[in-house]
Amino acid sequence: MVTIDLGKTSVREGNEKIRQCGKNGEDVEVVNPDARHHIGVGLVHPITVKVKGSAGYFCAGLSDAANFEVESNVGWGVGDNMYSGSVVVGGNAGAIPGVAIRGAEIVIRGNMGSRAGQVMKAGTLCCEGNANFMAGYMMYGGRIIILGDSGEKVGEDMSAGEIFVAGKVEDLGSDAELTDIDSAEIDEVMKFLDRYKIPFKGSFQKVVNAGKKLRYATSEQQMRSIPFFSFSGASDYWNPKIQEDLYIKSQIGRYRIRGYGGARPLPHFSDIAFKKDLSLAGGDADVVSKIKMRTEIGGINGAEPLKLSMPVMIAPMSYGALSASTKRAIGLASTLSDIAENTGEGGMSDAQRGAAKQLIFQMLGGRLGWNIHDMNRADGLEIYISQGAKPGLGGQLMAKKVTPELAKIRGIPAGIDLRSPSRHPDILGADDLVIKVEELREATGYRLPVSIKLGAGRVRDDIKIAVKDGFDFIELDGMQGSTGAGSAEVIDYVGIPTLPAIIEALNALEEIGRRDDIQIVLMGGIRDGVDAVKALCLGADAVALGTSTIIAGGCIACMQCHVGQCVTGIATQDPEHEKRYDPEVESQNIHRFLESVRWQIATIANELGYNDVTQFSRDDLVALTPEAAAMTGLPYDPQYGDADLDIKVRAAV
Amino acid sequence: MSAVYDINRILIPEVPPDYEDHTADTNYVPAPCQVACPIGTDAPSYIGYIWEGKFEEAFEAITATNPFSSICGRVCDAPCEPACRRTDSDGPLQIRNLKRFVMDKLGATYEPIPIKAIQSKTVAIVGSGPAGLTAAHELCDAGFEVHVYEMTDRLGGMMIWGIPAFRLPPGIIEEDIDRLLKRFPDLHIHLNSGLGKEITLDELKAKHDAVLLTIGSWWGKPMGIPGEEGNKNVVDGVSFLRHINAGERPTLPETVVVVGGGDVAMDACRAALRLPGCKNVKVIYRRGPDEIPARKIELEGAIEEGIEFIYFTQQVAVEEKNGKLILKCVKTVLGEKGEDERLQPKIAEGSEHEIQCGMVIAAVGQKAACDDLAKHNLMDVDRVQTEWDTMRTKDKKVFAAGDGAFGGSTIVMAMHHGQRAAYYVKSFLNDIDNPIPYRTPYRTRRVPVAQDIKWERFSPHHPEFFGIGEDPVSFPEIEATYDWDTARNEAARCYRCDAETGSPDYSVAHREDIFSMARTNPADHIKLKSMLQKRLRTRTNPFPESRAPNLDDIVFLPANLSRLVIDPYREACKVTTNLANKLELQHPFLVTGFDNESQEIFEAMSQGCVISKTPYLGCKDPGNETSWLQLSSSLSEQTKHTAGYVYHLDKGEEPIAITPATDRQIVGLAVSTENDLEQTISCSLENKHDILVLDSTGNLGGNWSELTTTPDFSILRDVIRILRKMKKEEAVELVYFGGVRSGTDAAKLIGLGANAVVMGVCAGLAMGGEINNEKIVFSSNYSDTDRVQGLVNIVKANLGEASMMARCTGKTNLYNVEPEDLSAITNDTSKATGIPLPGKCA
C-alpha cells in the first residue's frame, strides 16, 4: 500500500503516482484529499484506491478496472465515464454520480445529488439513501438502484436501462413508466446488494422507458431538394421551398429534418476578393516547396501539438453520420496529406485510428463512445459545445442509421431516433467547463491538446469564456457548416455566418490581449484553397474542411444524409449502400483534393509575395458586397468582382 | 475527344457562334454523361422528362443533336454510361435503354416540320453513313442544299451494312432516315453513285460549292498471315456482315473462328452463330479480357449466347488439311505499353498450337480505299488525309470526316465528325477564314429532379435479353425495351449531376470543381492552374439591392457558453400566453383570411382552430367554439359575444376609441404603415386598448393580401420605437400580421417585439390550398378531415419550431426571446428591424 498525501503533493503529481502504482500492481491510500477534484482519474489498471476523506469532482473518473473506496463524501460526477471497476462512497455524493458510466459499479452509502446516472450506458449505480431529482436522466442502459426515495422526475427521457426504487417513486419523468419486476431481476439486485454488504429487506418498484419518444411518430416524406435559386436570393416570398415545407409540416405536425449544410446563401468568402490581380497565378511548378506551410496547433500550454503539413485539418464528422468506409477514406487521405482527422461525435473505431496518423477525439454531451482507452490513443481531445450547422441542438441520428454495430460503439440501444443531448451533464457554465478541461488533462497526463468546438453565435462572449477556460486551441464553426441531420430551420436560421464569426473571435482576443497566442481553426463552408487563404488572411490560424472532402470523395450534395440510404454509400449504415463506396479509391480522390488545396494556398501565397502562410494579411482583401464589408470591416469595392474573368482566364491558360 | 474531367470541363472553351449552348449559365454544368457523349446529348434532361412522363419533350431533347436517335437507342456504344457517376455506386443509368424507350414510343410516328434550303450554295456529301448524314442534317439545318452521293442502293453506311438485324432491325434505320428526309426536303439523295464510277470528284467540285468526303472504312484489312489470300473459307468481317445484311443466309461450317476483339468481331461472331450449319463460334483475341475493345454489353451478349472466347492468342498462319481449315496460333503475354498507350502482346515461346475450324472471319480492322481520291493525291495510305483542326483535305474545297478520314470508330463518334465537318464547311461557305475551334455545344432543358423516394435504392434495370431466339436465322431482336414503370424507375436513379440541389454553398459548379480537384494529378500544373483561376471567381451578390428586407435574413444567436444551453429535444419551454390578460392562448398563433372562402373551407378552418385552440381574426363569425377576434371597419358591427373586436383603420384613417362590449372582450385597432403610427399609438394608449394589430401588408382582411404585397415588417420596429419613446413599451400588446410562414418567423417576430402573430397564407397552404394567381385555391383533393388536420398540424409544427428556436437561444419561455437573441445578415433587413449585423460592427 502506497500512501499519497495530497496535502503535500499536487493532484497532478498524485495522479501520476497512482497511475504508476496501477501499472506496478500496488494499491494506494490517498490522505488529506480535502475534496480535491479529479482524484484518481485516468486509471486503466486494476488497483484499489482508498481515499481517506472527501473527494471533489470526478473522483475515479475516466478510468477502467480500478476500485475506489471513498471514506466520506464526493462532489459532482463520481465515477465519470468509468468502464469496469467500482467506487464505494461512504457518505453522500453530489450531482450526477455515475455519469456516463459504461460498466462500473458505484455505491453511495448516503444520499445522492440530482441527475444520477445521467447518460449512463451500462453498469450499476446504487444509492442507499435518497436520490435527488431526475435520477436516470437520459440513461441509455445499465441499472440504478435507489433504496430510499426516487426524487422528482425519475427516469426523465431515459432511452433504456432500469431504475429500481425501494422508497417512494415521487414523480415519473417524461417517457418513463413503472413496470412489473420478475423475481430473477430481484435476485440480481439482491446479489449486488450482498456483494457490497448492503442489508435490505424491502421491495422495489421498477422504472423503465415508456417508449413513446424514442422514435418520431410519423415519418417525413422524403423529397429531393428544390434547386436553391428557386427559393433564395431575389425569389418570391412564398417560393416553392416554403410551399413544400408547409405541405410537409402540415402532414407531420413537426419541424422538418434534413442533412447537409445551409439551404440559402449567406455572406461568405465568395463575397470577398484579393486586391492583387491573380489572373496569372499558377506559373510556378515548384511552388509547394517554396512556401512554408507546416503549422503546429495546440501547443500553447505545453501539450504535444498537432503537426499539420499545411494549415488545414479535417472537420469533425462522426462515424454514424458517415459510414465506416467513408471515415476510413477520410482518415487515409488525412494521413497521405499529413494533416489531422477528427472523430466527431460517434466514438473512435480501430479502423479510424488505424487510418489517421493524427486523430482528434471529440467528446459530446451524450458521451457516446467516449472512454479513457480511446482518449489515450488520440492525438488531441476536443470538447464539443456546439456546431455551426445547428448550434443549440445535439447530434441527430435517425433510427435507420443506428445499427447494432454503431449502437455498440456509442453504448446506446440500437434502432432509436437518436437525439443527443445538447448540454453536457457536467458543463452548465464556464466554471464547470474549466474543471472538465482539467479532468481530461489529468486523465491523459497533460500530453494532449484539448480544444473546444464552438458553433458561431455570440462569438465575442463565447471566445472570451473559452480562453478563460484554458483550451489549447479553438475550433470555430460558422453556420455554413454541414451536418448529417438536424432541424432544417435550425440549420438555416441559428448561428452566424463564418465570415463575421472569425472577425468577432479575433476582436474578442484582441480585447483580452490574447490575439497572439490563442489559435483559431476556422470551419463552416470552407470549400477549397481559395476560401482557406481568405480565412487565413482574415486571421484564422488554420481551417478545417468537412463537406468539401466528402464531395471530393463522391458526394453529390442531394441533401438526404438524414435518410440513411445515401446513394453514394457515404451517409449510410446500410451495408448494401455502403458497398457502393470504395475507401481505397476515394481516399486517393480526397488526398488529391487536399493536395490541390495545398497547391492553391501555396500559389496564392507566392503570388502575393509571401514565403510563409503566416504572412497572409487582411490587407490583401477587399469586400465585394456591402454586407461582407460591414461584417469584416474590409474596404468595400465591388470593382474587384470581375465579370470578365472568364475571358481573362482563358487568355491566361 | 476529351476525357470527362479534363481541363475543358474546368474552363469550357468558347462555343462557336450560332450554336445553342448553356455553359455560361451559372446554375448548370454539363453532366459527365453529356460531356462523354461526342454529340453532347442532353441526357439528364431527357431522363428527367421520362420520369415526368413527358415523352415528346424527351424526344426533342434526344433528337436535337442526333438524327439517328432510334438507331442509337439500339446500338450506340453509349460512352455516357461508363461516365455516369452512379457507375461507381450500383451501376450506371441505362441511358441507351431509356433512349430506346422514348424512340420506341415516338420514333416511328413523329412528323417533323420541314425546313427548306435558304442558301444559294450547295454541298456534296460522298457517303451516307452516320458522319455524312449527320453533316447533311447540320448543313440542311443551316439552310444549305445538300446532295448525298451513295455508292450502294441504300442509305445508312455501316449502320445498314455493318450491324446485323438482331441488334438493329432494318425498320429502325428507316425510321431515322425517313425523319431526316421528311425534315429536309432539299436534301437530295443520289443512290448507286460511287465515287470514281458514276461520279467523279471533279464533277462534284464543279457542281457544288463544297465537297465532304465521308466514304467510311468499307474494306476489311487482311490478317497478313500465310495461307490467307485466296482461301475462300477466310473472309473479312465487314464483307461477311455486308452479305448477311444484304439478306444472304449462307450455310456455314460447324466451327467458325473469328479473329479480333472489336465491335465488328462481336457482330460477326454473333451473326455466324445464327446461321444454318454453324454450331460453334470461337473468338480469338491477342490480349486479355481486360483489354478487349468490344463494348461490354456486346461481349456479355456474345458470351451469353454461347460463343467461346480464347484470349492471349494470336494467329500466325492458315492451312488446309484433309478438307479442314487449320488456324495456326501462338499464345501471347502482355508486355510494355506501346505508342497507343496499350499493353503490347508478345509471343510466348513454344506456345504454337492449332485450332481446327471450317471458316475464319478476320475482323482485324478496316480501311478506306478510293482510286479517284488517290488520283487526286488525297489519300494517306488507307485514309483520306484530313486535318482534324479544320476537317480539310489538301484540297481547300474538299473536307472529310468519319471512319474514312480518321479510322474505324463508333456511330456516335462519326456523328460528332459530321457535326464538326459541317461547322467547318459552313465557315468555308460563309467565307470565315479562321473560325474559332469547334466544340460540342451543351444544352440543358432545366428539367426538375425526379421526385421518387426510392431513387437511392433502385438498382439498374437491364431489359430482358433474348439471345439468339427460337428461330436464329431470322435474326430476331436480342433484347426487350422497357415498359413504362421500369423506364420510370430507371430514370429516377439519375443523380442529375447537371442540376443544382438545395445547397447554394456547394453549387453544381463548385461541386464539379471540387470533383475535378479530386481527379487531378498533383503534378498537373496546367490543370491546377486553370482550376485555381476558376475558383478565384467571385459570385454575384445574393442579396441584390432589389431584395426587400426579409425575415429570412434574421438569424438566432445560440446559447453556447455565454448562456445555459437548453436542450430543444427535451427540455420544457413555456409557449402559453395570456393576451392582454383577457385571452388565454396555448400558443402565439392566430388565423385570418378565410372570410371569403366557401362554407366548406371556412368550416374546416373553424374546426381546425377549435382543435388547435387558435383564435380567428376576421369579419365572419367562425362559430361558437372558436375564439373570434372580430375584424370590422364599422363600430356598429361590434358584437358582444366575441373574444375580441379589432377595428380596421383604412388607409390614412384617423384612429378612433373602442370600448369593450364586455369585461373580457379584447379591443384594438388594426394599423398599417399607411396610417399615422404615432397618432394611432397615442389613441390606443389613451383609450386603454388591449392590443394593436400591425398589418404589414396594408390589406388585412382582404383576399390573401400576403400574396400581393411583400410584408413590410419595419412597422414592428417603428411601433416599438414609438412606444419606447413614450416609455410605454408594454402598455399595449402587439399582434403582427403579414408573411408569417413558419414557427421560425414567429419566433423572430416575437423577438422583435410581437406578442402574437397571425397566419394567413400559411394556414391556407397547410389546409391544402395552392397559390394560383395571387390567390389561394382550394382545388386539391383534400377531404375536410385532411384540411382540419392540416391546420392543426401546422399550428403544432410551427409551435415546435418557435419553441425550438427559443431554446436554441437559451430561453425556456418563448416570449423571452428578445432582440439581443437575433442578428441580421443583410444591411436592409438590419435597417428594417434595428437588429445589427454580426462581425465587425457587432
Each residue's pLDDT tens digit, A389-419 = 999 888 888 888 899 999 999 989 998 888 8
| Nearest chain A CA: its distance from B746 CA (Å) | 12
Q: Vertex B692, ends B689 and B696: CA angle to 5°?
A: 165
Cβ-defined contact of A558 to B501 (cutoff 8 Å):
yes
CB of B343 within 8 Å of any CB in chain A?
A: no
| Nearest chain B CA: its distance from A86 CA (Å) | 31
Residues A503 and A527 in one domain: yes
Residues B803 and B708 in one domain: yes
pTM over 0.80: yes
Interface mutation vs chain B, best among A212, A248, A383, A489, most B CBs within 10 Å: A489
| Beta bridge partners of residue A622, listed in sequence order | A273
Cell of B174: 428507316
Cβ atoms B692, B715 nearer than 8 A: no
| Beta bridge partners of residue B274, listed in sequence order | none
Residues A250 and A266 in one domain: no
Q: Which residue from B minimizes the CA distance to A384?
A: B560
* Short-list B430, B436, B429, CA closest to B390: B436
Residue identified by cell 431482336 is B477
Residues B280 and B193 in one domain: no
Q: Please tell me the predicted confidence (pLDDT) of residue A650.
A: 44
Q: Is residue B522 part of a domain?
A: no
Q: Please tell me the predicted confidence (pLDDT) of residue B416.
A: 98
Residues B600 and B693 in one domain: yes
Each residue's pLDDT tens digit, A531-577 = 999 999 999 999 999 999 999 999 999 999 999 999 999 999 999 99
Residues B635 and B689 in one domain: yes
| Nearest chain B CA: its distance from A399 CA (Å) | 16
Query: B116 lies in which domain range?
Result: 111-218+368-447
Mapping DSSP to helix (H, G, I), strand (E, B) and coil, where does residue B147 land?
Answer: strand
Each residue's pLDDT tens digit, A180-203 = 999 999 999 999 999 999 999 999
Q: Please tell me the predicted confidence (pLDDT) of residue A394.
A: 86
CB of B404 within 8 Å of any CB in chain A?
A: no
Residues B300 and B379 in one domain: no
Query: Does residue A645 carry a pLDDT above 60?
Result: no
Cβ-defined contact of B561 to A265 (cutoff 8 Å):
no
DSSP string, A332-361: HHHHHTT-EEE-GGG---HHHHHH-SEEEE
Cβ-defined contact of A392 to B554 (cutoff 8 Å):
no
* Short-list B680, B671, B679, B646, CA closest to B660: B646
Q: Which residues of A touch B27 (CB under 8 A)?
A: 227, 229
Share of chain A above pLDDT 70, in %: 98
Residues A249 and A370 in one domain: no
Q: Vertex A12, ends A10 and A14: CA angle to 5°?
A: 65
Residues B355 and B373 in one domain: no
Cell of B386: 484530313
Domain count, chain A: 3
Residues B276 and B144 in one domain: no
CB of B662 within 8 Å of any CB in chain A?
A: no
Cβ-defined contact of B790 to A422 (cutoff 8 Å):
no
Rounded CA Rg of chain A: 26
In whole angstroms, give the CA distance from residue B292 to residue B262.
Answer: 7
Q: Is residue B730 part of a domain?
A: yes
Q: Please tell me the predicted confidence (pLDDT) of residue A113.
A: 97
Lowest-confidence pick of A646-650, B117-121, B381-385: A646-650
Q: Please tell me the predicted confidence (pLDDT) of residue A419.
A: 87
Residues A134 and A244 in one domain: no
Q: Please tell me the predicted confidence (pLDDT) of residue A653.
A: 46
B583-585 and B577-579 as β-strands: parallel, antiparallel, unpaired? antiparallel
| Nearest chain B CA: its distance from A603 CA (Å) | 9
DSSP string, A149-179: ---TTBTTT--S-EEEESS----B-TTEEEE
Cβ-defined contact of A494 to B555 (cutoff 8 Å):
yes
Mapping DSSP to helix (H, G, I), strand (E, B) and coil, where does residue A454 land?
Answer: strand
Query: Does residue B96 carry a pLDDT above 50?
Result: yes
Query: Does residue A642 carry a pLDDT above 80?
Result: no
Last residue of a domain, one of B330, B362, B394: B362
In whole angstroms, give the CA distance from residue A74 to residue B611.
Answer: 51
Q: Which residues of B touch A487 (CB under 8 A)?
A: 568, 801, 804
* Short-list B216, B241, B217, B215, CA closest to B362: B241
Q: Which residues of B touch A267 (CB under 8 A)?
A: 543, 825-826
| Nearest chain B CA: its distance from A16 CA (Å) | 31
Of A233, A251, A278, the CB nearest to B536: A278
CB contacts < 8 Å between A and B, how many? 423
Query: A547 lies in which domain range?
Result: 260-271+294-612
Mapping DSSP to helix (H, G, I), strand (E, B) and coil, where does residue B237 land?
Answer: helix
The sign of the CA dihedral A427, A430, A431, A433 is: positive
CB of B509 within 8 Å of any CB in chain A?
A: no
Of A213, A227, A487, the CB nearest to B500: A227
DSSP string, B624-665: TTS-EEEEES-GGG--TTSSEEEEEPPTTPPP-----SSTT-
Cβ-defined contact of A631 to B546 (cutoff 8 Å):
no
Q: Vertex A533, ends A528 and A535: CA angle to 5°?
A: 95
Q: Please tell me the predicted confidence (pLDDT) of residue A19.
A: 96
Q: CA-based diameter of chain B, in Å?
A: 124
Last residue of a domain, one of B447, B475, B508: B447
* Short-list B434, B433, B426, B435, CA closest to B121: B426
Cβ-defined contact of A242 to B534 (cutoff 8 Å):
no
Q: Is residue A653 part of a domain?
A: no
Domain count, chain B: 3
| Nearest chain B CA: its distance from A460 CA (Å) | 9
Residues B700 and B652 in one domain: yes
CB of B91 within 8 Å of any CB in chain A?
A: no
Lowest-confidence pick of A643-652, B424-433, B461-470: A643-652
Q: Please tell me the predicted confidence (pLDDT) of residue B841.
A: 58
Mapping DSSP to helix (H, G, I), strand (E, B) and coil, where does residue B371 land?
Answer: helix
Cβ-defined contact of A627 to B827 (cutoff 8 Å):
yes
Q: What is the DSSP letter of B200?
A: -
In whole angstroms, give the CA distance from residue B48 to residue A238.
Answer: 25
Cβ atoms A163, A150 nearer than 8 A: yes
CATH code, domain carrying B151: 3.50.50.60
CATH code, domain carrying A172: 2.160.20.60
* Short-list B70, B74, B149, CA closest to B106: B70
Q: Is residue A600 part of a domain?
A: yes
Each residue's pLDDT tens digit, B225-272 = 999 999 999 999 999 999 999 999 999 999 999 999 999 999 999 999
Last residue of a domain, one of B405, B431, B447: B447
Q: Is residue A163 part of a domain?
A: yes
Q: What is the DSSP letter of B295?
A: -
Q: Is residue B328 part of a domain?
A: yes
Q: Which residues of A touch B794 (CB under 8 A)?
A: 246, 249-250, 253
Cβ atoms B443, B20 nearer than 8 A: yes
The average pLDDT across A88-116 equals 98
Q: Which residue from B minimizes the CA distance to A431?
A: B561
Residues B352 and B377 in one domain: no
Of A461, A494, A560, the CB nearest to B556: A494
Q: Which residues of A touch B90 (CB under 8 A)?
A: 580
Interface mutation vs chain A, best among B500, B563, B750, B808, most A CBs within 10 Å: B808
Instruction: Fill in the amino acid letter for B124.
Output: A
Q: Please tell me the predicted confidence (pLDDT) of residue A643.
A: 52
Query: Does residue B220 carry a pLDDT above 90?
Result: yes
Mapping DSSP to helix (H, G, I), strand (E, B) and coil, where does residue A437 land?
Answer: helix
In whole angstroms, give the CA distance from residue B796 to residue B585.
Answer: 13
CB of B743 within 8 Å of any CB in chain A?
A: yes
In whole angstroms, give the CA distance from residue A543 to residue A502.
Answer: 11
Residues A315 and A196 in one domain: no
Residues A447 and A332 in one domain: yes
Each residue's pLDDT tens digit, B723-749 = 999 999 989 999 999 999 999 999 999
In whole angstroms, give the CA distance from residue B175 to residue B73.
Answer: 12
Q: Which residue from A minimizes the CA distance to B770?
A: A243
Q: What is the DSSP letter of B274?
A: H
Going by pLDDT thresholds of 50, 70 and 90, the confidence category of residue A593 is very high
Q: Is residue B508 part of a domain?
A: no
Q: Is residue B590 part of a domain?
A: yes
Query: Does residue A649 carry a pLDDT above 60?
Result: no
Q: Which residues of B touch A566 (CB under 8 A)?
A: 456
CATH code, domain carrying A455: 3.20.20.70
The helix or strand, by DSSP H or E, that contains position A594, with its residue range, turns out to be helix A583-607
In whole angstroms, give the CA distance from residue B211 to residue B200.
Answer: 11
| Nearest chain A CA: its distance from B137 CA (Å) | 32
Going by pLDDT thresholds of 50, 70 and 90, the confidence category of residue B155 is very high
Residues A194 and A242 in one domain: no
Where b means 16+ CB within 10 Å and e means fewer, B238-275 reads bbbbbebbeeeeeebbebbbbbbbbbbbbbbbbbbbbb
Residues A23 and A168 in one domain: yes
Q: Which residues of B touch A264 (CB under 8 A)?
A: 504, 552
Residues A144 and A84 in one domain: yes
CB of B543 within 8 Å of any CB in chain A?
A: yes
Q: Which residues of B touch A638 (CB under 8 A)?
A: 541
Q: Which residues of A touch B86 (CB under 8 A)?
A: 567
Going by pLDDT thresholds of 50, 70 and 90, the confidence category of residue B719 is very high
Q: Is residue A649 part of a domain?
A: no
Cβ-defined contact of B89 to A238 (cutoff 8 Å):
no
CB of B730 within 8 Å of any CB in chain A?
A: no
CB of B561 within 8 Å of any CB in chain A?
A: yes
Residues A61 and A161 in one domain: yes
Cβ-defined contact of B518 to A590 (cutoff 8 Å):
yes
Q: Please tell me the predicted confidence (pLDDT) of residue B323.
A: 82
| Nearest chain A CA: its distance from B380 CA (Å) | 34
Instruction: Fill in the amino acid letter for B357.
Output: C
Cell of B526: 496546367
Interface mutation vs chain B, best among A596, A599, A625, most B CBs within 10 Å: A596
Residues A254 and A178 in one domain: no
Helix axes B714-725, B677-686, angle to 10 degrees: 50
Q: Is residue B443 part of a domain?
A: yes
With a CB-CB cutoff of 8 Å, which residues 575-634 of chain B face chain A? none
| Arithmetic mean of pLDDT over chain A | 95
Each residue's pLDDT tens digit, B792-816 = 999 999 999 999 999 999 999 999 9
Interface mutation vs chain A, best among B26, B505, B786, most A CBs within 10 Å: B505
Each residue's pLDDT tens digit, B657-714 = 999 999 999 999 999 999 999 999 999 999 999 999 999 999 998 889 999 988 999 9
Cβ-defined contact of B555 to A495 (cutoff 8 Å):
yes
Cβ atoms A548, A528 nearer than 8 A: yes
Q: Please tell me the predicted confidence (pLDDT) of residue B430.
A: 96
Cβ-defined contact of B449 to A224 (cutoff 8 Å):
yes
Q: Please tell me the predicted confidence (pLDDT) of residue A582.
A: 96
Each residue's pLDDT tens digit, B542-569 = 898 888 999 999 999 999 999 999 998 8
Residues B591 and B646 in one domain: yes
The average pLDDT across B365-393 equals 96
Q: Is residue B610 part of a domain?
A: yes
Residues A139 and A267 in one domain: no
Q: Is residue B1 part of a domain?
A: no
With a CB-CB cutoff of 8 Å, which residues 127-146 of chain B face chain A? none
Q: Which residues of B touch A593 (CB under 8 A)?
A: 514, 517-518
In whole angstroms, give the CA distance from residue A332 to residue B689.
Answer: 68
Cβ atoms B817, B747 nearer than 8 A: yes
Residues B655 and B801 in one domain: yes
Residues B272 and B328 in one domain: yes
Cβ-defined contact of A237 to B560 (cutoff 8 Å):
no
Cβ-defined contact of A462 to B546 (cutoff 8 Å):
no
